[in-house]
Structure 1
Amino acid sequence: MIVVMKTSATEDQLKHLVKHVESLGLKANVLRGTERTVVAAIGDERVIGVTALESIPGVDNVMRVLAPYKLASREAHTETSTIRAGSFEVGGKAIGVIAGPCSVESEEQIVATAKAVKAAGATALRGGAFKPRTSPYSFQGMKEDGLKLLATARDETGLAIVTEVVSPEDVDLVAGYAEVLQIGARNMQNYRLLEACGRADAAVLLKRGPSATMDELLLAAEYILDGGNSRVMLCERGIRTFEAHTRFTLPLASVPYLQQKTHLPVVIDPSHGTGHTYMVSSLAKAAIAAGADGVIVEVHPDPENAKSDGYQTLSCEAFATMMAECRRIAEAVDRTL
């Protein structure tokens, strides 16, 4: 159930409503927009009627949310959420750009990449310190040493850090170094991890699982939102289909669909979505044309010798070219990059 407050509602009236909702055994989540504040009353709605809440001072309107994802729904929050994390911002007119290597390999590699992507216009640095790999014999990442190198790169450039967390036990550790916690596709339905990220003081980039439906993605986001963390971004990174010409199939129809259903910003990953370097720039431009709020791409100073995913990674020079082309697309759709 969503309770919309009047524009003239006072803070005391809001607190009174929250206290009343909680007294009924429901959870009250306050969502503040630029024009209106709403309270999502989560729980068994049968314990209360709409008219009972409408009579409370400061309340303008009360409505039931039909979608199974209550907090992620546009019914709960009509405006697209703007999420800020250090130098990174997504959800407004500006398109957020996250760029960097698949994995952190050395101080020289990550700092050089950070400087190059910042110069080209990226607003956040990605880099894997913990790497969940299909094979146990593949490079698994530098773990906390990698996090320390990411922090060094941030000190050098001021870029916000986006890095993956793979277990609930590591959330506090990773959040101590990074502004954005990435939940990878393999972990989209790791509910204990989602709950832990819901308690974290960091933004979250939630990637869609390769076989997940849109509702499953949104309900995974709901776990994080229900934990109290409102800074959640959704990432479309491609799904498994019968096609073999790309690593995954990147459905850009996800952008307008999700933007109709949810207020959470939508980020596109053309690197994993294609698996081929020569396709990344084209799909990044297409994502921006489709209305994506952000893109995340893999960039490395020497892709041929990258320890992971070199076949889908742009060189620093190719990334700069991509950004120049993307700026023209962004301008055409009344966005900035």
Structure 2
Amino acid sequence: MKKEYNKIGIVAGPCSAENRGQMLETAKGLKNIGVGTIRAGLWKPRSRFGTFEGVGEHGLVWLNEIQQELGLKVMTEVALPSHVEAVMKAGIDMVWIGARTSVNPFMIHELAEALKGCDIPVWIKNPVCPDVELWIGAVERLQHAGLKDIRIIHRGFCTVGHHPYRNAPLWELAEDFRTRFPGMPFYCDPSHIAGKRELVPSVCEKALSLHIDGLFIESHCCPQEALSDSSQQLTPAALSGLLDSLHVSIEK
């Protein structure tokens, strides 16, 4: 008997927008498998000085081209009020707040103030440290600013001894968080939990067993050439194969 496929939300795209060709090729590949929202980092909070820190505002032109030519929604990470100003001016569909930002209440306050009145979905990742109250507080600050469409991304936590993963999933913390915001869309980022593409499927399986709403996953047209997080990204074709193996289809 053929197994019925469950529908879930999918947001996919490269860790970083690197150049126009890479973005368009990846977006076309993802559109072909049914993905409707493309993610790509423009400003990258890297650990070490001198590493690739993103193309910045220049990449907004490529995201606009994907919107206009392919009819896809696009989103990028914001960490400063100036980022919010730039993406709103460019008409970007959604934004996310990363784990290195959600860990700092002062930064969240500044972003919440900058996002006031913005009628777009705002996604927020868990803080890098395993502190549920800090995660809850970040959401509360966004709510206090009047934001109505807030969505959650679980990307794992930095802990000692989280082998074999890049970031420890600590599923029990994620489940604890969900009890506080039961109606909020909750996605898992298996790429940042796994850190290695061969571990992504098992992370997805566990996340799906917890009845998450979708996956926020990294996909690149040529992962081996990626300027950041090359080891955890999947090609669009590999992503399609993964979803098929998980018996899920993309919710429109």
Instruction: Quote the offset at 1:329 in angstroms.
Output: 4.9
**Residue equivalent to 1:259:** 178
- Give yes or no for contact 1:125–1:161 (8 Å, CA) kept in 2: yes
1:285 paired with 2:205, answer: yes
**Residue equivalent to 1:204:** 122
- Give yes or no for contact 2:197–2:233 (8 Å, CA) kept in 1: yes
**Residue equivalent to 1:182:** 96
- Give yes or no for contact 1:255–1:266 (8 Å, CA) kept in 2: no
**Residue equivalent to 1:87:** none
Greater RCO (CA < 8 Å, at least 6 residues apart): 2
- Name the CA distance, whole Å, in 2 between partners of 1:107 and 1:193: 28
In structure 2, do the counterparts of structure 1 residues 272 and 198 end up closer, same or farther at CA, with 3 Å as the change threshold? farther
Q: Letter of the 2:219 partner, please give it.
A: V
- Name the CA distance, whole Å, in 2 between partners of 1:251 and 1:121: 30
**Residue equivalent to 1:195:** 113
Q: Letter of the 2:223 partner, please give it.
A: P
Instruction: Quote the offset at 1:130 in angstroms.
Output: 1.3
- Name the CA distance, whole Å, in 2 between partners of 1:250 and 1:242: 12
- Name the CA distance, whole Å, in 1 between partners of 2:203 and 2:71: 27
Give the SS at the match of 2:192.
helix
**Residue equivalent to 1:234:** 152
How many residue pairs are counted as aligned between the two chains?
240
- Name the CA distance, whole Å, in 1 between partners of 2:214 and 2:47: 27
**Residue equivalent to 1:73:** none
Give the SS at the match of 1:95.
strand
Picking from 96, 101, 114, the partner of 2:27 is 114
- Name the CA distance, whole Å, in 1 between partners of 2:203 and 2:91: 30
Instruction: Quote the offset at 1:155 in angstroms.
Output: 1.9
Deviates more, 1:150-159 or 1:251-260: 251-260
- Give yes or no for contact 1:285–1:329 (8 Å, CA) kept in 2: no
1:217 paired with 2:135, answer: yes
The TM-score normalised by the length of structure 2 is 0.88
Instruction: Quote the offset at 1:255 in angstroms.
Output: 4.8
Q: If you compute each CA radius of gyration, which structure gives the higher value, 1 or 2?
A: 1
Give the RMSD, CA atoms, in angstroms.
2.0
In structure 2, do the counterparts of structure 1 residues 198 and 252 end up closer, same or farther at CA, with 3 Å as the change threshold? farther
1:103 paired with 2:103, answer: no
- Name the CA distance, whole Å, in 1 between partners of 2:14 and 2:91: 17
**Residue equivalent to 2:36:** 123
1:160 paired with 2:73, answer: yes
- Name the CA distance, whole Å, in 2 between partners of 1:161 and 1:208: 21
- Point out where structure 2 has 5 or more consecutive residues left out of the alignment: 1-5
- Name the CA distance, whole Å, in 2 between partners of 1:226 and 1:96: 27
What do residues 57-107 of structure 1 show as CA deviations (whole Å, max 9, x unaligned)?
A: xxxxxxxxxxxxxxxxxxxxxxxxxxxxxxxxxxxx952211000111111
Instruction: Quote the offset at 1:286 in angstroms.
Output: 2.3
**Residue equivalent to 2:168:** 249
- Name the CA distance, whole Å, in 1 between partners of 2:122 and 2:130: 18
Instruction: Quote the offset at 1:237 in angstroms.
Output: 0.5
- Give yes or no for contact 1:210–1:238 (8 Å, CA) kept in 2: yes
- Name the CA distance, whole Å, in 2 between partners of 1:95 and 1:157: 22
- Point out where structure 1 has 5 or more consecutive residues left out of the alignment: 1-92
- Name the CA distance, whole Å, in 1 between partners of 2:203 and 2:16: 22
**Residue equivalent to 1:19:** none
